[in-house]
């Protein structure tokens, strides 16, 4: 059996597809956010000035299915004018900025910008799907996880089940909403709107196995360039959610980007819990029966 047991409602199973987000290429333009809202008709969600760098959208939610995070890291500059922390040395300031997102200051400090476009992970072991009592959440023939808004009853069980805090209920609506990986476009053999709009190819769409191979090669390139902190996130099928349909190449630890370091399928231990309850109930029943029989003999 493959790592993903596909339960489909839309047709015969197809090769699993997803996103590989290479954050080293993200320039923070937010074209993906705009394209997602326009294509999927996601309602406006103005934040105004948030005080959080240039990030005016903050996080994912029912009215924001793509979110570009801005992370500022101040670094002390070494004698070569390169910030400490495993950044690649560059021959010129121009290439330094291009290769690492670093900007220098005259006071001897540098500022590294980390930018990353976040989205629903379309987990292999999707807890949101498992806890949904109405079948509103389902696995498509492409291996993605989608909410059927006309079936969702607004119970909200899926929201705490998600280890990434992706799902949310829309105010005034009550139903859960999230990224569909542009399911309607996939059925027409088109790539998702966000990937099509990304000008740097930071968001790459395709068959998952091919994307993983591409990600491994890219990680090797960055390691050879001296970016020791670079790592893949959610690309390993042995992690707590069985790998994901949307995985990332990060330049620092997941926590820096606001991502959980060790996400776990929240329904993983449900079977064992129910088994323990069954054993306890059987023991209690046996004790009660014994007590009744003993009392009858007296």
Question: 155 and 226 share a domain?
Answer: yes
Query: Which of helix, strand or coil describes residue 95?
Result: helix
Q: What's the rounded Cα separation, in Å, for the pair 245 and 266?
A: 17
The predicted pLDDT at position 276 comes to 37
Question: 184 and 208 share a domain?
Answer: yes
The pLDDT of 62-70, averaged and rounded, is: 94
Question: 152 and 288 share a domain?
Answer: no
The predicted pLDDT at position 272 comes to 42
Note whether residue 74 is domain-resident: yes
The band of 89, judged by pLDDT with boundaries at 50, 70 and 90, is: very low
pLDDT tens digits, one per residue of 4-27: 544 455 567 789 999 999 999 999
Q: How far is CA 140 from CA 6, 57, 143, in A?
A: 7, 29, 5
Structural domain tally of the chain? 2
DSSP structure string for 199-266? TTS-EEEEEHHHHHHHHHHHHHHHHHTT-TT-EEES--TTSTTS-BSEEEEESS-GGGGT--SS---T
Question: 290 and 211 share a domain?
Answer: no
Q: Which residue has the higher pLDDT, 254 or 99?
A: 254
Note whether residue 264 is domain-resident: no
pLDDT tens digits, one per residue of 108-144: 567 788 999 999 999 999 999 999 999 999 999 999 9
The pLDDT of 146-169, averaged and rounded, is: 96
Question: 277 and 215 share a domain?
Answer: no
The predicted pLDDT at position 205 comes to 98
The predicted pLDDT at position 10 comes to 53
Range(s) of the domain holding residue 296:
271-298
Neighbours of 43 (CB within 10 A): 13
Note whether residue 94 is domain-resident: yes
Give the H/E segment covering residue 18: strand 17-22
Question: 224 and 286 share a domain?
Answer: no
Residue with tokens 């389902």: 138
Question: 88 and 203 share a domain?
Answer: yes
Question: 198 and 294 share a domain?
Answer: no
CATH number at residue 155: 3.30.70.20
The band of 290, judged by pLDDT with boundaries at 50, 70 and 90, is: low
């Amino acid at each position: 059996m493959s790592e993903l047991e596909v339960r489909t409602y839309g047709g015969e199973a197809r090769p699993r597809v997803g996103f590989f987000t290479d954050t080293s290429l993200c320039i923070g333009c937010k074209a993906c956010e705009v394209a997602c809202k326009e294509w999927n008709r996601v309602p406006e969600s103005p934040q105004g000035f948030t005080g959080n760098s240039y990030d005016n959208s903050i996080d994912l939610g029912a009215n924001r299915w793509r979110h570009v995070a801005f992370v500022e890291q101040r670094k002390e500059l070494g004698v070569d004018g390169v910030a400490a922390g495993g950044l690649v040395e560059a021959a010129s300031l121009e290439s330094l900025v291009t290769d690492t997102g670093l900007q220098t200051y005259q006071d001897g400090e540098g500022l590294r910008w980390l930018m990353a476009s976040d989205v629903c992970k379309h987990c292999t072991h999707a807890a949101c799907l498992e806890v949904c009592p109405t079948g509103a959440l389902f696995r498509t023939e492409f291996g993605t996880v989608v909410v059927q808004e006309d079936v969702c009853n607004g119970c909200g069980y899926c929201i705490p089940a998600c280890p990434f805090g992706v799902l949310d209920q829309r105010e005034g609506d009550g139903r859960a909403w999230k990224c569909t990986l542009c399911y309607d476009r996939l059925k027409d053999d088109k790539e998702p709107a966000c990937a099509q709009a990304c000008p740097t190819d930071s968001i790459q769409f395709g068959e998952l196995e091919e994307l993983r191979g591409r990600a491994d090669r890219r990680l090797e390139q960055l390691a050879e360039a001296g970016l020791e902190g670079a790592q893949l996130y959610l690309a390993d099928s042995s992690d707590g959610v069985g790998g994901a349909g949307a995985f990332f190449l990060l330049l620092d630890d997941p926590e820096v980007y606001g991502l959980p370091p060790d996400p776990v399928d929240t329904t993983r231990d449900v079977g064992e819990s129910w088994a323990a309850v069954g054993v306890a109930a059987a023991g209690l029943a046996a004790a009660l029966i014994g007590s009744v029989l003993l009392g009858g003999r007296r």
